[in-house]
Amino acid sequence: MTDTTKEVTSGVKLCDSCGATFGEDDDKRYKDCATCRGAVIEQPEVAIPEHDAGVEPVVLDIEKHKPPPIENRDFYWCGATMDCPMDITLGGFEFPRTEGRLVDQFDGSSILQPDATKGKIHRLTKVNVALIKEHCANKVIRNFTVEELVLLSGKVHNRYHGHIRGITGSKHRVYVPQPSDKPLGQFVYMVRVRHANDRPMSDPPTMVPRDW
């Protein structure tokens, strides 16, 4: 059976898409005429799924993971007295005798640098202050002694000795009070001040008043 729809005379070519006869300007190397080849075929719109299979977005619960609230902090002038045998750390904060550097002299004495200042300023929360007070109350200075050194100049230079002991003790080492024990609070001070450079007095009171 012969397909009569595509019957053409010799030398005539029909377009496979529209069936029209190729014109003189058409390139007979193609199966479609120039008109069909240049037509823009409108593609159907592809629906995009909300989520591909197996993909699940992570949603953060802000209320459960929100950062902690900002705590109020105040400036505190913290330090140890100049006759304290060593610099002290309480609740993770330094209580130095001075922020300056002690410079040893040839005669055995030591002097402070001109820019030295007593103690150190910390910004503390109420929780910090409570922890410092607790740590201070649980410690004593044992065997506090004063060594007097007569310098070549004739002046007397004092050196202070002693060591820290905790009064809470443990099952392996029970604390036994000694007559020489002095509360650590008699050697440290903590004063709330207005700003980071405020040192309002020359001799700040110790956390525990001295009875000696």
User: Which of the pair, 142 or 49, is modelled with greater confidence?
Assistant: 142
What one-character DSSP code corresponds to residue 121?
E
Look at residue 10 in the predicted model and tell me its pLDDT: 56
Query: Is the pLDDT at 92 greater than 70, yes or no?
Result: yes
pLDDT-derived band of residue 32, with 50, 70 and 90 as boundaries? confident
Sequence-distant (6+) residues with CB within 8 A of 103 are 110, 111, 112, 113
* CA nearest neighbour of 93 among 73, 72, 122: 122
Residue range 36-81, pLDDT digits in tens: 876 544 556 656 556 666 788 888 888 777 787 888 999 999 999 9
Global pTM value = 0.62
User: CB of 206 within 8 A of CB of 186?
Assistant: yes
